[in-house]
Amino acid sequence: MPNLVAMLEILVAFSILCVAAVRSSDPQLFNVLSYGAIGDGAFGKAWDDLCGSTSNYVVLQIPNGKSFFLEPVNFKGPCKPSHLQVQIDGNLTAPTKPGDDNEGIQNWIQFVSLEGLVVNGSGSINGQGFAWPPHCKRPTALVFHNCNNLQILGLQSFNSPRNHISISSCNYVRLSNVYLSAPETSPNTDGIDISESTNIRIQESVISTGDDCVAINSGSSNINIIRITCGPGHGISIGSLGHHESYATVEDVHVSSCTFIGTQNGARIKTWQGGSGYARNITFKDIILESVNRSIIIDQFYCPHKTCPSERMAVKISSVRFAGFYGTSLDRRAISLNCSQTIGCTNINLDNVNITAATPSEKPYASCINAHGMAYNTSPPVPCLIH
Ligand SMILES: *[C@@H]1O[C@H](CO)[C@@H](O)[C@H](O)[C@H]1NC(C)=O
Ligand SMILES: *[C@@H]1O[C@H](CO)[C@@H](O)[C@H](O)[C@H]1NC(C)=O
Ligand SMILES: *[C@@H]1O[C@H](CO)[C@@H](O)[C@H](O)[C@H]1NC(C)=O
Ligand SMILES: *[C@@H]1O[C@H](CO)[C@@H](O)[C@H](O)[C@H]1NC(C)=O
Ligand SMILES: *[C@@H]1O[C@H](CO)[C@@H](O)[C@H](O)[C@H]1NC(C)=O
Ligand SMILES: *[C@@H]1O[C@H](CO)[C@@H](O)[C@H](O)[C@H]1NC(C)=O
């Protein structure tokens, strides 16, 4: 008799193991189509079931061959499963004007407080940004807040009314093969905005917008951007930092093998007067420029409103390297390093920079105020650096 009990116990243990094994390899699927009408809270209902599931691997499926009505949706955690995937293969299309349900919304799709999320797919999010009146609040297409070990793979976002992707308070994020597009004239349509986040890798993506291609804001460190094509738009920006006399920090940012086509700026660091903190250990390396208005910019007097009070404090900019820049500039002033008299910029280094004018008869030049460092094999020459 005791033997039988032992055998039963072994059997039970074994079947639990089997179920566990099956669960880790075969995901439990939550197809939004089985949650009723499209655009009727189906995504939210599917998410609630997925998030509370006892499986450890779950997938929310937004299948292809379908167009879905985009509603504001908040995919919120924490969730029970350890592997969460959102597979977006269908197209999500926003209404052409704000409706009663979504007037004043800040985001279309929001992912909050999730661990180990993968957002993948061949689908698209069409924000219909052109249809939003300029005076009304315009939503960001995709927001990731407080997500760790996050992967964003292969998505497309068109015509977001505001930023395409915002990443805040996230740690360990990989984003690859993403395609973001909005007209050159569309206001505030940043491609990817990063703030208060660490260990971010953005790679193999194409971003055409009316504002920054990638913007790296305060609280961010260890950011790697590799093989991105930007343009049109405002280039890859660090900042703006130190607005309203704030303390801002950005460090360990490395941008390499990127191409800028017809952008207003290439590599830019911008800080407001009156702020404090630092931007340091920043590299832009192996950059190709095609008709970029201004290729290399450090601006410690950032002031988009035309009048800003003059202040002594500034966010300190140090240890910045621009290496291997090659291509053409639209503006004759191809390089502009404009640092404050009180704080200045230190250890600013350029090497192997060769920028020629997009109009062959013109000769580009560099301007430089209160920047200290070295320039090696750099054309046009940068006056205040040691050549
Ligand atoms: C989804 O969007 C893509 C890209 O715009 C388009 O090629 C495709 O035809 C769309 N599919 C459907 C079902 O609307
Ligand atoms: C991502 O989605 C594509 C289809 O769009 C699929 O082929 C691929 O296997 C998915 N990758 C992962 C890691 O889920
Ligand atoms: C600069 O950043 C790199 C990469 O994040 C890091 O390995 C290196 O230690 C940093 N250097 C300094 C001086 O902080
Ligand atoms: C180039 O930059 C300068 C200075 O910022 C600006 O005045 C000019 O309008 C820009 N040109 C284009 C084509 O963006
Ligand atoms: C640098 O910034 C100061 C303060 O805004 C401005 O007066 C000056 O014209 C700028 N210099 C250059 C070369 O852009
Ligand atoms: C810079 O690039 C131009 C255009 O390709 C080329 O003619 C020139 O020789 C290069 N200069 C240096 C110093 O490499």
pLDDT digits (tens, 9 = 90+) for 324-356: 999 999 999 999 999 999 999 999 999 999 999
Q: What's the distance, CA 65 to chain centroid?
A: 28
Alpha-carbon torsion (84, 90, 96, 101), positive or negative: negative
Kindly report which listed range (29-38, 122-131, 162-171, 291-300) carries the lowest average pLDDT score. Answer: 29-38
Q: One of 234, 305, 372, 387 is an active-site residue; which one?
A: 234
Which residue, 197, 147, 194, 156, is CA-closest to 177? 156
Instruction: Tell me if residue 145 is catalytic.
Output: no
Q: What are phi and psi for residue 295, nearest 5 degrees?
A: -85, -40
pLDDT per residue as tens digits for the range 224-260:
999 999 999 999 999 999 999 999 999 999 999 999 9
Alpha carbon of residue 342 to chain centroid: 32
| CA 222 to ligand 3 centroid distance, Å | 8
339 close to 300: Cβ distance less than 8 angstroms: yes
**pTM (two decimals):** 0.91
Of residues 336 and 66, which shows the higher confidence score? 336
What the block records as the tokens of 192 is: 């990817």
Q: Which residues contact 41 (CB under 8 A, 6 or more apart)?
A: 71
Distance 287 CA to ligand 2 centre (A): 30
67 lines ligand 1 (CB under 6 A): yes
Higher per-residue pLDDT: 270 or 305: 270
List the CATH code of the domain at 223-387.
2.160.20.10
User: Is residue 7 predicted with pLDDT exceeding 80?
Assistant: no
pLDDT at 21 exceeding the cut of 80? no
Q: Cβ(126) to ligand 1 under 6 A?
A: no
Q: Among all ligands shown, which has an atom nearest to the Cα of 254?
A: 3
Q: Report how far ligand 3's centroid is from the alpha carbon of 280 (Å).
A: 9
Ligand 1 pocket, residue 157 CB under 6 Å: no
Q: Would the CB of 270 count as within 6 Å of ligand 4? A: no
First to last CA, the chain: 90
- 120 within ligand 2 shell (Cβ under 6 A): yes
Q: What percent of the chain is modeled with pLDDT above 90?
A: 79
104, 139, 366 from 262: Cα distances, Å: 33, 26, 19
Taking the alpha carbons of 215, 218, 219, 224 in that order, is the dihedral positive or negative?
A: positive
